[in-house]
């Protein structure tokens, strides 16, 4: 039995990260560290550590004399993130489907179920579970760098996942697409996995482009 110990910095990181992903912290507005630390009931030390980690994740920007601000979402960044995902993820998941052992297959199914359950809670939770699901399809391929890149891109995509799922009906569509992907993956149908995942990522990008275009 493993015990996961979360430091105070970890807890602050998760709270602030959720606020960034859901848009509770507005973009390009300086984060008032004194006020935020007081609200969370912590000193500024764990908060600074959490903000530094969020900057490393690409969610925040630090500037001299301004401190930290939330990085603005943009059509250009969405294009870049999703173009990289399209180039890497579908083929990597196809390899994962073929090479997965029984443990990896069980973990991927559990990741799908966790994502499905999160759809009934909140979008921040959905974003995290979505990342874990997509990474679980790739990890069994045994390509460490590829897995790290997929996970990194999924982290950067989380705010865009939340934005994409906001319009009515998108969550139901996403569920059907994810179900199709996991079924093909568990069937070790590499070609179908690659086709479905490519369509899923490309469809999300197309929707995001339309959302940015209409403002």
Any alpha helices (H) in the chain, and if so which ranges? 8-22, 33-40, 44-56, 75-99, 102-118, 123-138, 144-165, 170-186, 190-214
Question: Is domain 8-70 given the CATH code 3.30.460.10 in the classification?
Answer: no
State CA 42 to chain mean position distance. Answer: 27
Q: Where are the domains of the chain?
A: 8-70, 75-214
pLDDT at 24: 85
pLDDT at 4: 44
Q: How far is CA 111 from CA 19, 132, 155, in A?
A: 23, 6, 16
In what helix (H) or strand (E) does residue 60 lie, and over which residues does it extend?
A: strand 60-63
pLDDT at 58: 84
DSSP 134-197: HHHHHGGG--HHHHHHHHHHHHHHHHHHHHHH-STTHHHHHHHHHHHHHHHHHTT-HHHHHHHH
For tokens 């906001």, the residue is 166
Q: What is this structure's pTM? A: 0.84
What's the CA gap between 215 and 212, in Å, rounded?
Answer: 5
Q: 161: closest CA among 143, 174, 149? A: 174
Whether 8-70 and 75-214 share one fold: the answer is no
Residue-level pLDDT, tens digit, the chain, 215 residues = 334 446 888 889 989 988 888 888 888 888 999 999 999 999 999 999 999 999 988 889 998 878 899 998 999 999 999 999 999 999 999 999 999 999 999 999 999 999 998 887 777 788 889 999 999 999 999 999 999 999 999 988 988 988 888 887 788 899 999 999 999 999 999 999 999 999 999 999 999 999 998 86
Which CATH superfamily, name and number, covers 75-214? GntR ligand-binding domain-like (1.20.120.530)
């Amino acid at each position: 039995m493993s015990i996961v110990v979360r430091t105070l910095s970890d807890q602050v990181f998760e709270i602030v990260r959720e606020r960034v992903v859901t848009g509770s912290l507005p973009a390009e507005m300086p984060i008032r560290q004194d006020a935020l630390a007081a609200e969370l009931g912590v000193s500024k030390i764990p908060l600074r550590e959490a903000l530094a980690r969020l900057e490393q994740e690409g969610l925040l920007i630090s500037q001299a004399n301004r401190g930290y601000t939330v990085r603005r979402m943009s059509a250009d960044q969405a294009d870049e993130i999703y173009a990289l995902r399209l180039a890497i993820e579908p083929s990597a998941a196809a390899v994962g489907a073929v090479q997965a052992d029984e443990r990896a297959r069980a973990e991927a199914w559990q990741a799908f179920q966790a994502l499905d359950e999160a759809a009934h809670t909140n979008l921040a939770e959905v974003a995290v579970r979505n990342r874990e699901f997509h990474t679980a399809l790739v990890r069994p391929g045994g390509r460490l760098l590829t897995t790290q890149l997929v996970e990194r891109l999924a982290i950067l995509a989380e705010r865009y996942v939340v934005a994409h799922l906001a319009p009515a009906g998108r969550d139901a569509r996403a569920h059907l697409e994810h179900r199709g992907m996991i079924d093909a993956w568990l069937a070790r149908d590499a070609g179908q996995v690659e086709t479905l995942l490519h369509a899923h990522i490309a469809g999300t990008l197309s929707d995001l482009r339309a959302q940015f275009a209409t403002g």
